[in-house]
Structure 1
Amino acid sequence: MLKEARRRRVVLAALFAAIALLALVFGVFWPKKFVAETTILVQENNIIKPLTEGIAATTQVSDRADIAREVIFSQDSLDQLLADGGWDVSKLSPIKRDELIDRLKGHTNIETSKNGLLLRISYNDSDPKRVYDLTRDMARLFIAKSLASKEAESTSAYDFMNSQVEEYHKKLVAASDALQSYIASHPDASPGAIADTSARISVLRSQIENSKVQAAQFSSQAAAMGGSLSGQSQISTVQTREDVYRAQIAQLQSHLSQLLLTYTDNYPDVVRTRHQIDDLKQQLATAQTQKQAAAAVGTAIDNPVTFNPVYSNLQTQLAQIRGNLAAAHATEATSQQQLAVELARSQKIAQSSNEVAKLTNNFNTVNTTYQDLLRRREQARISMDLDRDKQGLTFKIQDPARMPLMPVGLRLMHFAAAGMLMGVCVPLGLLFLIARFDPRTRSADTLARATGLPVFASVPYYRDTHDDVLDRKRNLQWISIVIVVMIAYFGLYLIRVLNHI
């Protein structure tokens, strides 16, 4: 293999030079790629947050990278970015503009950190100044538009909540007026009317039951007293009966006059006294009739009599019992009338209570919604003030964009190193393949193994003067080729250093 390399050294050197120089040419004309990156810190004010927790709406961002991409690549933002990138937007055709926009989007990378607090924006292009300008402007556009959008959103939310509060305030006033108007026009529908009526009905029913019990007791006592009275003598002859009756009537009328000064005509004692007077007047009339009848036949019965004290006492008690009985019946009748009135009123209250309940429920519902809207409007106002003062969600450029000085990706040095490596490996690989698969015999041992016959002698190659000259010429050729390649590499390196590339 070494002999084959020496014999083909010029071809191998030429192949090495071709590969190395071709790689160098590729490296020179390979488009450079400059990258600029900026990092934005997205955070909420840690001092404001605990003070406004629960009373101000917080901004929740699910994917900041998608939001940043939507903001940066909006139509008005793209026009500004194209202008900042050095393109004249007014002279671009629609197709060229769309191509530039696709290129701009394809060369832009936006991503967030795992905790979502850092937003990284990077842009790559062949022009380092354009890379720097566009990366810087993308960050500024994102921050400015995000803050403006958030402030506009919170202002819109406050305006909406304020309009809802005003609308529900009108509904609340209307519901309150309807309820008060209905209660004013229906006195029975006032609060507590049902409880008062129920208590009144209960008291009247108790009075009716008590009056019935008392009437039964007085009726029983009157029957018993009548039996006792029938077994007693009524009078004794001390004075005329008419005088006795008149004296008793006068006494009872005096007592009745005293009672009327204090009580009404339906009072039980007044009713009882009148019953006693009526009984005595009836007895007086009976006595006078008997006296006139006796006088007509010539019989004198107008003898002085004396009343039986026991009989008089029993008669007085019977009159008292009858008066109590009459009073019990009067009380029962009055209570029945009042009960009927209260029952009729309770029916009217029941009819009005449904409408009152409906109006009250409507008022409570509107009032609950109104109070909730007031709370939400206050939250929206605080959120709007925080966004207006830039105290809520904040954006800070943590790592600003810098002018890229060196390209990234495949550079000239990579192509040069690869060219040198391939320039060495490819010729050696071809030399190995030639030596491995060339069918020509190059040694006696190889010939003996291939034919199975012994080799008695071999004739070596003898070099002459012409061969030495040719060998020196070939050495000069391959060394010159290698030197040219080295000079090309070194010269290009000096040019790039002098140009500060």
Structure 2
Amino acid sequence: MTTFASVLPAIVSEARRRRVVMGVAFALIALAALVTGMLWPKKYEASTTILAQESSIISPLMEGAAAATGNKNRASIARDVIFSRKVMSEVLVAGGWMATHPSPVEQDRIIDGIKARTKVVTAHDNLITISYSDSNPKRTYLVTRELAQLFISESLASKQRESRDAYEFINSQVEAYRKKLTDAEDKLKAYRDSNDDARPGSEADTNARISQLRSQIETARMDLMERRSQEGSLAAQLTGESEVNTVQTTGGIYETQMADLQGQLDKLLLTYTEEYPDVVRVRHQMQDLRQQMAQDDQRKAAAQLSGTPIALDSRVQFNPAYQQIKTQLAATRASTAAAAARLGASEAMLQSELQRSARIASSENVTSELTRDYNVNRDVYQDLLKRRENARVSMNLDAEQRGLTFLVQNPAVMPLTPSGLRFMHFSLAGIALSLAIPLGLLFCAVRFDPRVRSVERLEQATGLAVLASIPFYPTPNDRRRDRLQNLILLLMVAGVGVVYLAMFWLRLKQ
């Protein structure tokens, strides 16, 4: 197997023999790279970063009263906003392309080029980076700045349009439902005016009245039954009583009076002494009454002795119990008649209320339908009123830019150095390639050359040992030719170096 160490002497030998060719290749490659670097178009790139804020100080203060426009959607459609025809037309003016008055076809071609050189990257759903590259640094800066400004202005204008459109739509719905609510209210009012039983609360009043009348009827029936029973009882008692009462004789009266006086005396003696005037007075009355009783007994005894008939000295009066029962019976009969009248009146009113309840039930379906339409329209109308006020506040916030959600985090700056491959890159690449390509070709030529160039290769090929080798001895002509070739190689390398230094010096001067 051939190793690099075994091939290295052959490579050195071939390099010495073909040093002029290698020098020419070195110079051509180096100069070609230098020319390519000079002719390579410069590319300047500028970028700006816009922060789409998800919240602000005013957001929690207006929570529930205003609806904020979603920032995440704004960030996701940034590319559509920036690449819109309106924005691109403004960019053509800002970049100076319209100064030459290009045709519509040329404008489309320029716009396609601008879109190809423009990058829009969104990070974390709220950070938008706009990058633009061009061969002119000033135009790169102007276009990048204009893209950021146009994106922000278009986004704000879109927010304002969105808020205004939302408010106008909700306002139109409010007016439409206001008319529906008014019509439903007029229909319900007209039906209630034409039907007294369809007024609010009529059913509840009727049900309460029916319940009250039924309670009154039950009470009246119980009262009527009680009074009729009482009337029968009083009539039975009245038949068992006499209309008049006969009081006892005079002796009986005296005994009754004596018993009364004795009761008064016993009551007074419980509190007073025997000398108390009332006690003395009662005792005198009792004494007088005893005298009268004695006289009456003597008179009766004398009459019996003489055989003269004795007339009964009695008093006849009406029976008070009879009179009382008769009075109660008359009052009971009157109250019974009144209870019966109340019962009849209550039953009549109950029938009237039942008929009214039937009329209310028949009109309840129409009233329920009209009321349901009115309630639905009223609820929707009130909800739309709240939403309209919220939309009004949101529209005012967007109109006054109080809820600004876009902030230029990193503004665009003028690019001072081109991006991508520059002249220095081509120069360094040219030096590297001018060295690598000739050496690589030389190594390939030696490596794949079938000729025997070393003792080791000859021994490997023949399997025999080499006893001696004859070295090459140059002649004077060979030495002169070698010095000339070395001089030519040195001049080519020096020339390339001078050209490189001169170009670097010119670049630094610019």
Label 1:439 to 1:226 Cα distance change in 2 as closer, same or farther (>3 A): closer
Q: Does 1:390 align with 2:401?
A: yes
Question: Which structure 1 residue ranges, 5 or more long, are not aligned?
Answer: 237-305
Which amino acid letter does the alignment assign opposite residue 174 of structure 2? V
Local SS of the residue matching 1:163: helix
Q: Does 1:43 align with 2:59?
A: no
Distance 1:456 1:162 in 2: 112
For 1:435 and 1:184, how far apart are their aligned partners in 2? 119
Structure 1 residues 48 and 314: CA distance shift in structure 2, 3 A? closer
Amino acid at match of 1:10: V
Match of 2:176 among 137, 156, 167: 167
Deviations 1:391-424 (A, max 9, x none): 1124333332222221111111111111111111
1:97 aligns with 2:107: yes
1:154 and 2:163 aligned:
yes
Partner of 1:345: 356
Give the C-alpha shift of residue 456 in structure 1.
4.8
Is the CA contact (8 Å cut-off) linking 2:56 and 2:403 kept in structure 1? no
Once residues 457 and 203 of structure 1 are traced to their aligned partners in structure 2, the CA distance between those partners, rounded to angstroms, is: 147
Task: Letter of the 1:470 partner, please give it.
Answer: R
In structure 2, the partner of 1:370 is: 381
Contact 2:45 2:137 in 1 (8 A): yes
Corresponding residue of 1:417? 428
TM-superposed deviation, 1:348: 2.0
Q: 1:427 aligns with which of 438, 456, 461?
A: 438
Aligned to 2:267: none
Q: Which residue identity does 1:360 align to in structure 2?
A: T
The residue identity in structure 2 corresponding to 1:158 is Y
| Aligned residue among 332, 344, 350 for 1:333 | 344
Tell whether 2:413 aligns with 1:402. yes
Correspondence 1:19 to 2:4? no
Contact 1:48 1:392 in 2 (8 A): yes
Whether the 8 Å contact between 1:113 and 1:119 is mirrored in structure 2 is yes
1:194 pairs with one of 197, 203, 223: 203
CA distance in 2, matches of 1:206, 1:444: 141
User: Of the two, which has the highest radius of gyration?
Assistant: 2
Among candidates 101, 104, 110, match of residue 120 of structure 2: 110
Change (3 A) 1:221 1:120: closer
Shift of 1:49: 1.9
Which of 183, 187, 190 pairs up with 2:192?
183
Inter-partner Cα distance in structure 2 for 1:379 and 1:485: 76
Matches of 1:313 and 1:449 in 2, distance apart?
168
Shift, 1:89, TM fit: 7.9
Q: Tell me, yes or no, if the aligned pair for 1:45 and 1:391 is still in contact at 8 Å.
A: no
Normalised by the size of structure 1, how large is the TM-score? 0.76
Deviation at 1:228, TM superposition (A): 6.2
State the alpha-carbon separation in 2 of the partners of residues 79 and 393 from structure 1: 25
Is the 2:66–2:394 contact (alpha carbons within 8 Å) kept by the matching residues of 1?
yes
How many residue pairs align between the two structures? 430
CA positional deviation for 1:227 = 5.9
d(CA) in 2 for partners of 1:455 and 1:232? 182
Letter in 1 for 2:129: R
Q: Which residue of 1 aligns with 2:294?
A: none
- Give yes or no for contact 2:76–2:125 (8 Å, CA) kept in 1: no
Q: Is the 8 A contact 1:59 1:393 kept in 2?
A: no
Partner of 1:474: 485
195-204 or 416-425: bigger deviation: 195-204
TM-superposition CA deviations, 1:143-199 (whole Å, max 9, x none): 222222222222222222223223333333333333333333333333333333223
Offset of residue 23 of structure 1: 1.6
List aligned pairs for 1:62-461, cutoff 5 A. 62-88=72-98, 91-114=101-124, 116=126, 118-220=127-229, 321-461=332-472
Root-mean-square deviation over aligned CA pairs: 3.1
Asked whether the 8 Å contact 1:132–1:403 carries over to 2, the reply is yes
CA distance in 2, matches of 1:211, 1:386: 73
Deviates more, 1:195-204 or 1:222-231: 222-231
Mapped partners of 2:372, 2:481: distance in 1: 118
The worse-fitting range, judged by mean Cα deviation, of 487-496 and 58-67 is 58-67
1:31 CA displacement? 1.8
Alignment correspondent of 2:501: 490
Q: Could you tell me how far 1:350 is from its partner in structure 2?
A: 2.6
Q: Quick one: structure 1 residues 482 and 343, their matched pair in 2 at CA, closer, same or farther if it must change by over 3 Å?
A: same
Amino acid at match of 1:46: S
Q: 1:407 to 1:192 in 2, by over 3 A?
A: same
Does structure 1 residue 463 correspond to structure 2 residue 474?
A: yes
Answer yes or no: is the 8 Å Cα contact 1:65–1:110 preserved in 2. Answer: no
The farther-off stretch of 423-432 and 308-317 is 308-317
Q: 1:332 to 1:34 in 2, by over 3 A?
A: same
Distance 1:488 1:204, change over 3 A: same
AA at the equivalent of 2:37: G
> Cα distance, 1:71 vs. partner?
2.2
In structure 2, give the amino acid aligned to 1:187: D
> Relative to structure 2, which stretch is displaced further, 75-84 or 449-458?
449-458
2:32 is aligned with 1:8 = no
Alignment-mate amino acid for residue 139 of structure 1 = A
TM-score by length of 2: 0.75
Cα distance in 2, alignment partners of residues 459 and 315 from structure 1: 181
Cα pair distance change 1:490/1:352, threshold 3 Å = same
Q: Which amino acid aligns with 1:459?
A: I
Contact 2:213 2:349 in 1 (8 A): yes
TM-aligned CA deviation for residue 224 of structure 1: 5.6
d(CA) in 1 for partners of 2:19, 2:493: 11
Task: For 1:328, give the aligned amino acid.
Answer: A
Q: CA deviation at 1:135?
A: 1.1
- After alignment, is 104-113 or 438-447 more displaced? 438-447
- 1:90 & 1:484 partners in 2: Cα distance? 44
The 1:178–1:454 alpha-carbon spacing in structure 2 relative to 1, beyond 3 Å, is closer
User: Alpha carbons of 1:45 and 1:232: their partners in 2 closer, same or farther (altered >3 Å)?
Assistant: closer
Aligned-partner SS, 1:146: helix
The alpha-carbon deviation at position 466 of structure 1 amounts to: 0.8
1:359-397 CA deviation, whole Å, 9 max, x = no partner?
A: 333332222222222211111111122112111124333
* Farther off after superposition, 360-369 or 130-139: 360-369
- Which deviates further from its counterpart, 86-95 or 166-175? 86-95
Contact 2:81–2:151 (Cα < 8 Å) also in 1: yes
